[in-house]
Amino acid sequence: MIRFDNVYKTYKTGTDALKGVSFKIEDGEFVFIIGQSGSGKSTIIKLMTREERPTEGKVYIDNYAISSMSRTLVPVLRRHVGMIFQDFRLIESKNIFENIAFAGEIVGMSRKKLIQTVDIVLSVVGLRNKASAFPKELSGGEQQRVAIARAMVNDPRLILADEPTGNLDPTTSEAIMALLEEINRNGTTVVICTHDSNLVDRMKKRVIEIAGGEIVRDARDSGYTCANNIPQEQCEEL
Amino acid sequence: MSIRAFTNSVREGFQGILRHPLVTMASITTILLMLLLMSVFVVFSSNARYVMKNVGQQPPIEVYMQLEGTEEQRAGISAFLTADTEHVLYFEVASPEQNYIEFKTNLGSSSTILDNFDYNQYLPYTFQVQLVDPAYADEVVLHLEALPGVSKVMQERQVMLFLTQSTKWVNVGTATAFVVLFLISLFIISNMVRISVYSRATEITIMKYVGATNSYIRLPYIIEGAIVGLVSAICAWGITCLAYGRLYSMLMAKIDPGSFYALLPLSSLSKGILLICTFCGILIGAFGSGVSVRKYIKV
């Protein structure tokens, strides 16, 4: 479970990114965080991975206040969180197998188990035959699937995705979302920051909308805007 | 960190060297130049100390006995000098006759004027003393002057003072140059490695996101830096030994290796240079790399 308790975040530049944000995400939920650029979506992700600390308020994961955890424990937290980025962030000099495997190597996984696990996650994302290819040899969609496989390798309980379809065409985006939905069906909590209104509207999941650093909407089975045949009372549910 | 994670880091360290050959070459050249400078300083200061030590051990102290000094008193002085092994390296007694002969020899063609000289009446027994270190001169002279039968103790005070001061300054100069060169090398190498680290900044960020600890990220760079430092050290050692070997052959061609101004043979220097180069090279490489990564691991 993720809990934000009255979280404020002001950057050193003086920008108020979040102003008293509070919400709760239960285990196994699929949540979209939407909002315009600069609204504070990415700050929420950064607070969940402890890349940033709140100026005020607390962030909890499984009732553990990660906002006040020591620096030495941050890597431990991140091993339980799978991260997916808009620009895929794959290591160009490593092949696909190595890109996925190094996330397991970091936690000291044995070679035998690593080979098995990478094989499984590559099968899940449908890239088993591309294990020896390098990122540059893959399409954008395939690279994002590799990133998803890497996020899955340590069997995380939470996957955070920051604009995962931002660089992909609509068809590929659909495939990526289907994959994330599949992962979510197996019990992993998935939190996605996105601008992709079509996907949000089509998937009808919980939507947390941020504007000016505040939550303006927190609705279940919602769309990108309240106008997409979503009952108004759901839009007002905070 | 598990053994597997450690071996991965070592492997990554080796791969890093091959991945950026130009940066590796630049790093090796930088450390090599610094280590060469250090080696030149080590060679110079070692030789300076060696020559000064030899010069200081030449007989700078001469003890003159009283003309009426007895054999027991001479034996007493000999016993004192024999027992003081801490300060005295070597001593020699010269009889009045031996002093007379030396005196005559020094006069050369004019020596005939001393033909009828009664040396037993005017020349005393003397002791020529070599010290372990010229710095002990004052202490030894004080003791010798207090011994019965001693008329006076001569020492080349200015020479002794110069030798003591020079040895001190060479030591201070060597230590200062060492520290300054070390810091400059560290600064240069950390900037060189920063280029290599910058090109892998994305990789480091990704590693941080998937839960790598700072030490896990740093270790390959530290190992890479240490290898670069080791290679530079071996090259610097080889070049220094080769150059010094040639210089030694040239300068010492007509000089007796036992003379007080002889240079140190290569065999006495090479181990020391190798140790210093290896230690400094590895330390500069490893520390410089470790420091450069710091900026990028604050994710």
Q: For residue B93, give the 3-state DSSP assignment.
A: strand
Instruction: Please state the φ and ψ torsions of residue A16, each to the nearest 5 degrees.
Output: -90, 100
* Each residue's pLDDT tens digit, B6-34: 787 788 788 878 877 887 888 888 889 88
Tell me the domain boundaries of chain B.
3-55+162-297, 61-155
Q: Measured between CB atoms, does A79 come within 8 Å of chain B?
A: yes
d(CA B148, CA B24): 71
Q: Are B202 and A91 in contact (CB < 8 Å)? A: yes
Please tell me the number of Cα atoms within 13 Å of A89 on its side-chain side: 24
Determine which of A36-45, A69-78, B50-59, B75-84 has the lowest per-residue pLDDT on average.
B50-59
Q: Searching chain B, which residue's CA lies closest to the CA of residue A87?
A: B202
Q: Measured between CB atoms, does A202 come within 8 Å of chain B?
A: no
Preferred mutation among B209, B215, B219, B294 to probe A, highest tally of A CBs within 10 A: B209
Determine which of A64-73, A164-173, A220-229, B282-291 has the lowest per-residue pLDDT on average.
A220-229
Determine which of A150-154, A234-238, B75-79, B93-97 has the lowest per-residue pLDDT on average.
A234-238
- Extract the tokens encoding B172: 């201070």
- Extract the tokens encoding B188: 């240069």
User: Which pLDDT does position B138 carry in this prediction?
Assistant: 81
d(CA B155, CA B161): 10
Q: Are A128 and A16 within 8 A, CB to CB?
A: no
> What ipTM was assigned to the predicted interfaces of this complex?
0.80
**Class assignment of domain A28-39+78-235?**
alpha beta
pTM: 0.65
* Each residue's pLDDT tens digit, A63-122: 899 988 988 899 999 988 999 988 888 988 889 999 999 888 888 888 899 999 999 999
What CATH architecture is B61-155?
A: 2-Layer Sandwich (3.30)
Instruction: Please state the φ and ψ torsions of residue B19, each to the nearest 5 degrees.
Output: -70, -35
Q: Searching chain A, which residue's CA lies closest to the CA of residue B207?
A: A103
A105 vs B5, B205, B209: nearest CB: B5
* Each residue's pLDDT tens digit, B253-295: 877 777 767 889 898 899 999 999 999 999 988 888 888 777 6
> DSSP class of residue A62?
T
